[in-house]
Amino acid sequence: MAFAESDLNLPQDEIDKLKAGLVNFGQANAFIHAIAEAEAKVRDWSSRFVVPTETLRRLWRPIVIYQVYVLVDDLSKPRTQAYTDAMEELKEIRDGKFPQYPLADPQPTGLASSSGSWGSEERIK
């Protein structure tokens, strides 16, 4: 499921002002890119686990808002704190600290493997 502007729970006039501000800074597509980048980050960091969509949206929201407000140079302490909290929770999900989220089956592909061949017969010469 893709996230959309309506998932941000921001008033439409605030979204319109943000978009206008981004255009004034020469970043016409920045809003769309921020949404896509934040969605990719949330999905990448949580992909090993089955995390409810509502939790993903809750974490996605402050990341998008933070990224957009950084571009228009209008960060507030609450926005920064919400972003920090969301990133911290994402890190905890990524690290498996929520036992209520079972492992995804099958596991996502393309993730780095943690297995190695320490003590193998081959030596670097």
Q: Per-residue confidence of the chain (125 residues) as pLDDT tens digits?
A: 578 888 888 999 999 988 888 888 777 788 888 888 999 999 999 999 999 999 999 999 999 999 989 888 888 899 999 999 999 999 999 999 998 998 888 776 665 544 445 555 555 55
- For 102, residues 6+ apart whose C-beta sits below 8 A from its C-beta are 49, 50
Amino acid in the structure at residue 12: Q
| Total-model pTM | 0.76
Number of domains into which the chain is organized = 1
* Residue 87 in domain: yes
- pLDDT for 30 equals 83
**Partners of 49 in beta bridges:** 103
* Residue 124 in domain: no
* Residue 64 in domain: yes
* Residue 101 in domain: no
* Residue 115 in domain: no
- 97, exposed or middle or buried, with CB in 10 Å at 0-12, 13-18, 19+? exposed
* Residue 4 in domain: no
Give the range of the structural domain holding residue 41, as residue numbers without chain letter.
11-94
Quick one: which of 58, 8, 63 has its CA closest to 41? Answer: 63
> How far, in Å, CA of 30 to CA of 93, rounded?
27
- pLDDT for 56 equals 92
> How far, in Å, CA of 114 to CA of 84, rounded?
27
* Residue 29 in domain: yes
